[in-house]
Amino acid sequence: MVFPGTNCEHDVVHALDLIGLQPELVFHKETDLTGFDAVVLPGGFAHGDYLRTGAIARFSPIMGAVTAMAATGAPVIGICNGFQVLCEAGLLPGALVANRDLAFICRPVHLRVETSRSALTTGAASGEVLRIPLNSYEGNYVASPETIREMEAADQILVRYCDASGTISDAANPNGSIGNIAGVCNAAGNVAGLMPHPERAVETVLGSTDGIGLLRSIPAFADLVATRP
Amino acid sequence: MKFRIDIRRKEGLSDPEGMTTHKALHNLGYTDVTSAHFGRTIYLEIEAADPAAAAAEVETMCRQLLANPVIEDYDIGVVG
């Protein structure tokens, strides 16, 4: 998915190519996603992030088809700015606001996998610690205490910021996200959003290959949905 | 008609700009400041024959686009 201002789409295409998928870029003015098994909203600054991050992008023509796809149970993944768009669209709970220290953060962070039930974590084990680059100013996840309680009860929190040993603490929270939350999913698990960039952790030369398991979860989850009785 | 819409973060949710400004004021000696919160103001001009209908329309605009009801509250005022 490419909005005006999206800038991580080629990284995502490269990473999905590497794991053997056949990605195609779709411009936001399209209205049809027929023939696709999954959709990824990559990072960037869709529509300049004017008003709020993702606020204008959620009304792009393609978002009707994205919402329809989400309703079928197919994987709909948002990375960084794509996560913000999915929150604005109401496809994921909560929202993302400016980082606690008002600084743009661009560095690898550690993430602890909390559940393997989503379209982004089917290929990861609960408790596994991943090292993935974070690259954002508005990465601070917020939601009301009731929403957080409901999400925890429904196992909708995918990954939390942690230290290298997997311990969740304030010190390991780069941006102030409530509960160190770095990624969430909807109740069905097929719509998933993640602030760090798994597509930037797919080759040794990039410093980490921990993103591969997350991205491989997308086709694995789609197969699970397809074979569900 | 001219409308003024004040949008601010819901109470209790993280407001890093407000928190940082609050600290800066304390550092300058304004220790009586108990909180600081940031918001956004949007001015709209609408060609309206029916003021009540225009106000209702602005309310809808706020819910649909101008504010994010998940994290923001808003007030709508008429300024002319």
Q: Quick one: closest CA in B to A84, which residue?
A: B68
Q: Quick one: closest CA in A to B72, which residue?
A: A95
Neighboring chain B residues of A88 at a CB cutoff of 8 Å: 68
pLDDT for res A221:
94
- Whether A80 is catalytic is yes
Q: How confident is the model at residue B58 (pLDDT cuts 50, 70, 90)?
A: very high
pLDDT for res B14:
85
Look at A95 and B9 and tell me if their CB atoms are within 8 Å: no
Reported as a single tens digit per residue, the pLDDT across A135-145 is 999 999 999 99
The domain made up of B2-78 has a fold known as Mth169; Chain: A , (3.30.1280)
Q: Give the whole-angstrom CA distance, residue B67 versus residue A32.
A: 28
* Most confidently predicted of A50-59, A154-163, B12-21: A154-163
Q: How confident is the model at residue A226 (pLDDT cuts 50, 70, 90)?
A: confident
DSSP states along A156-184: -EEEEEE-TTS---STT-SS--GGGEEEE
What average pLDDT does the segment A11-15 reach? 97
Q: To probe the interface with A, which of B19, B22, B42, B70 has the most A CB atoms within 10 Å?
A: B70
Tell me which residue of A219, A207, A220, A202 sits closest to A15, measured CA to CA: A202
Q: How confident is the model at residue B72 (pLDDT cuts 50, 70, 90)?
A: very high
pLDDT for res B21:
93
ipTM above 0.85, yes or no: no
Of B13, B17, B68, the CB nearest to A52: B68
Measured at the CA of A183, the angle between CA B37 and CA A110, to 5 degrees, comes to: 100
Look at A52 and B10 and tell me if their CB atoms are within 8 Å: no
Of B12, B14, B65, the CB nearest to A97: B14
- Residue B14 DSSP one-character state: -
Look at A144 and B14 and tell me if their CB atoms are within 8 Å: no
Predicted confidence (pLDDT) at residue A229 exceeds the cutoff of 90: no
Residue A111's contacts (CB-CB under 8 Å, 6 or more residues apart) are A129, A130, A131, A132, A159, A160, A161, A162, A182, A183, A196
pLDDT for res A100:
93
- Whether A106 is catalytic is no
Inter-chain Cβ pairs, chain A and chain B, closer than 8 A: 44
Q: How confident is the model at residue B12 (pLDDT cuts 50, 70, 90)?
A: confident
What average pLDDT does the segment A212-219 reach? 96
Reported as a single tens digit per residue, the pLDDT across A21-69 is 999 999 999 999 999 999 999 999 999 999 999 999 999 999 999 999 9
Look at B9 and A97 and tell me if their CB atoms are within 8 Å: yes
Q: Which of A80, A87, A162, A185 is catalytic?
A: A80
What average pLDDT does the segment A14-19 reach? 96
Neighboring chain A residues of B11 at a CB cutoff of 8 Å: none
Reported as a single tens digit per residue, the pLDDT across A83-117 is 999 999 999 999 999 999 999 999 999 999 999 99
- Whether A9 is catalytic is no
Tell me the shortest Cα–Cα distance from B60 to chain A, in angstroms.
15
Domains assigned to chain A: 9-227 (3.40.50.880)
Q: Which residues of A fall below an 8 Å CB-CB distance to B? A: 51-52, 55, 59, 87-88, 93-95, 97-102, 140, 142-145, 176, 178
pLDDT for res A228:
67
Residue A12's contacts (CB-CB under 8 Å, 6 or more residues apart) are A23, A40, A42, A79, A199
Predicted confidence (pLDDT) at residue A151 exceeds the cutoff of 90: yes
Neighboring chain B residues of A59 at a CB cutoff of 8 Å: 65
Neighboring chain B residues of A145 at a CB cutoff of 8 Å: 12
